[in-house]
Amino acid sequence: MNFAFATKFAKMYFLTIVALIVLVYIGTRFFTHIDLALYGYMVGTIVFIGGFFYRFIAWAERPPTKLIIKKGIKLLFRRSTPQTSVEHLATYRFIWNRGVYRWTQHVLLGWGCILSACVTFPLVFGWMYFTMEDNGTYTVVGFGLDIMRVKADGWIAFLFYNALNITAFMVIAGVCMALYRRIKNMQARAEQTFVYDFLPLYLLLFISITGLLLTFSNIVLHGWGHPVMTLIHQWSVILTLIYLPFGKLAHIPIRPLSVFAKNYREHYGEKEMKACKVCGTGFVSVEQSDDVIQVLKQNEIEFAMTEGFHLAELCLPCRRKYRMSRFAGVATHTIKVKEANQNAKG
């Protein structure tokens, strides 16, 4: 099988698309329930998968990433993994420490996009669809099986109809909060660029607004302009899917690997700590310090100092002092003075 493909990427992409086709075949009851109006989204998703595989494999082949993934898989069944997964992927507790505003912004954006994907992709690939009965009820079909029946005018059906409208409002609120912060926050203004920081937000905003306009066209305008708006919305989604693996939004599908990194730090942090070669303070696990030195060596980067230690064997304050000593010509890293707070205001 390996000799049939030019690269590992090509093999994984091919097998993924084959698996996707099989799932579509099963979900649509042997291709009998395919919504051709959603065909463009399906093609865009397949292109997105190819771009994501390319981006992920290029990133995963880097020595530090490969090391984290390898050791993270071994530590996947730690007791703390469920809690870490919830905090990193559901509640975003790690962002709560940065402020309630940023946490609210990320919850609205993150869950708005996740819920939209959970609704859109099953519909696009025919894994879920609805059939209308004569008695005024909808049958929800999932992977070819009748899952539940709901009244057409009931509250459950209302949530089904308006799920994407609700998530669109969530995304719009989150994008507006992010834009406001990027305009007002001085640190964000100093670091941001239009293509990397603003373009993804504008794309999400455009998708959400055009999606709401489809509902507005149906309810208020009685379908006027709906065909044109459908094409505009569809193309905006397709372009965003193609762009997603190569821009700032790529961290969304890669985010689950943060659980690996947290498990790595916690597991080896419970073991022997590395003492700083200058001040003797334990600042990181021995395993992590050795891994940093190993990864740097693989990249042919040497930070071996004339004093007989590696720069990675210094804690951050001593490391900064040592860099100062190289410019000043004075052994500032040996001066036992506490470092001032780097984040102090005023």
What topology does CATH give the domain 2-260?
Fumarate Reductase Cytochrome B subunit (1.20.950)
**pLDDT tens per residue, range 23-41:** 888 888 888 888 878 888 9
| Structural element, H or E, at residue 343 | none
Q: State how far Cα 194 lies from the chain centre.
A: 20
Is it the case that residue 93 has pLDDT exceeding 60? yes
Beta bridge partners of 128: 142
In single-letter form, the type of residue at position 70 comes to K
Distance in angstroms (rounded) separating the CA atoms of residues 44 and 214: 20
**pLDDT tens per residue, range 50-91:** 888 888 888 888 888 888 899 989 998 899 999 999 999 899
Q: What is the pLDDT of residue 346?
A: 38
The structure tokens 């007791």 sit at: 79
Distance in angstroms (rounded) separating the CA atoms of residues 334 and 331: 6
Mean pLDDT of all residues in the chain? Answer: 85
Distance in angstroms (rounded) separating the CA atoms of residues 233 and 207: 6
pTM for the model: 0.82
Is it the case that residue 22 has pLDDT exceeding 60? yes
- The structural domains of the chain, with segments of one domain joined by +, span 2-260, 272-334
The per-residue DSSP string of 125-168 comes to TTSEEEEE-TTSEEEEEETTEEEEEEETTSHHHHHHHHHHHHHH
Q: What is the pLDDT of residue 345?
A: 46
Tally helices (H) and strands (E) across the chain: 14, 5
What mean pLDDT comes out for the span 108-129? 90
**pLDDT tens per residue, range 136-164:** 888 888 887 888 888 888 888 888 889 99
Residue 55 token pair: 């981006």
Q: What Cα–Cα distance (Å) separates residue 238 from each residue in 244, 317, 336? A: 10, 47, 58
- The helix/strand/coil state of 47 is helix
